[in-house]
Amino acid sequence: MIDALNVAGNKMRAQYDKVHRGIIHPKLTAGEAEVDREVAHERAIALAERIESTPMGLALTKLLFNYRDPILRLNLGTMELPNPSGLAAGFDKNGRIPTVLGEGLGFGLVTVGSIAKFAYEGNQRPRIFDLPHNDGLINRMGFPGDGVDEAKRRLSDLPKERGYGLVVSVAASRPSFDRGKQLDDYGIAYQNMLPYGDAFEINVSSPNTPGVKGLQEPEAFRDLAQTISNYRKRSAFDGQKPVIYKFGPDLSPKHLEEVLKIAKDNGADAVTLTNTSTDQKLRDSLAWDQHKDEIGGMSGAFLREKALEATHNAYTLMGETLPVIRAGGVNGSCAENIWEALTYGGAIVAESYASFVRPTTSTPNFVYYGMRDLAAAMRRNGMTSMNDFKHLRGKQLSFPKK
């Protein structure tokens, strides 16, 4: 009976994939979106908002696409997560659809933002460029967003009890840097958002806002980390909600070691590695694409090895004292990709972005497939919980195939 149900379920999912990739995704990316890729993103967010605003639509989405298995449960600081699949910052910039992403599509960790103090339009459009021959994207968004006041309004409506972890990413947009107030504005954004998230990611790795990447330089980063630490100590939530720092993939091992130690010394609970890359050698290695040479940060499958080595180095340096969230080149629908991140990469959560929106991998079943197959692989390997990965982190292990 169970086998028959599984076969029927697999056929149904294959039909969903066919409809999504053959009809929905092409409609999202057609017309104006062919010139300005951001239009497709706006259409997807609007579609998800309609689902989130309809209790029946949200319940049906959860029933169909949310995979839950006790073996996948884990803790990240004070957060209890249903699984190690995360959605990186940038997809839901303004906190418009976290419930659909977490409760509906099944991401265990949803990161909204980056949210800045000011509402800001960001860089001139178009600012997202498709790299179809490389399964990737280039973006130079520049932190467009509605600012903390609007984000607070939206996130205040969320249920207090959630079946996923909500991370709020904060940053400073160009107006803050133009005023020379970027450190305090990071702190003010963090302070304002504190009641509304389960954890907070301090983004110092975006290559698209003048000055942000400079905050990864040790002295500048120390000043920022101390600023956040001071705001944290003055808050009513001191120590209760994890603080996570997000670094880019282009730091040398020595540079990475310096900032990781500064983060730890200033009370960081975890780090996210990595963000988009501006490495010219990586760009030169890509296959030809019409927009390959556009200015901006590159993301996609081609970032896998670079990001994996960064997380491995971080784990080697810090061990279990500073947990790593892996982002960059992760295909969240592929259990083998996630296994690699959780073992050799030393990560506790694997975040996706580009693979979630690529036409070849995009599907409402995205998290379902990755988590279903990861749970099965764990059991084939004799594992009984996510705690078993503690003994596997940093090690290069083959994926337990059938």
Catalytically active residues, by annotation: 206
SS3 (DSSP) at 111 = strand
- Residue 355 to residue 333: CA distance in whole angstroms: 8
CA nearest neighbour of 296 among 123, 175, 88, 174: 123
Whether the Cβ atoms of residue 270 and residue 311 lie closer than 8 Å to each other:
no
Q: Please, which residues bridge with residue 244 across strands?
A: 201, 270
To the nearest 10°, report the CA torsion of 273, 86, 113, 121. 90
- Residue 108 to residue 102: CA distance in whole angstroms: 6
Tell me, what DSSP letter sits at residue 163? Answer: S
Alpha helix (H) ranges present in 205-303? 218-234, 253-265, 280-285
Chain position carrying tokens 């506790």: 348
CA nearest neighbour of 94 among 241, 185, 165, 196: 196
Helix axes 253-265, 218-234, angle to 10 degrees: 20
In sequence order, what are the residues at sequence separation of 6 or more whose Cβ sits closer than 8 angstroms to the Cβ of residue 127?
38, 139, 140, 141, 142, 208, 296
Structure-block tokens of residue 14: 């294959």
Q: How many CB atoms are located within 10 Å of the residue 295 CB?
A: 12
Calculate the CA 172 to chain-centre distance: 18
Chain position carrying tokens 């800001």: 120
Residue 53 region by backbone torsions, left for phi larger than 0, else alpha for psi between -120 and 50, else beta: alpha
| Angle (CA) 348 353 358, round 5° | 135
| Angle (CA) 182 352 85, round 5° | 110
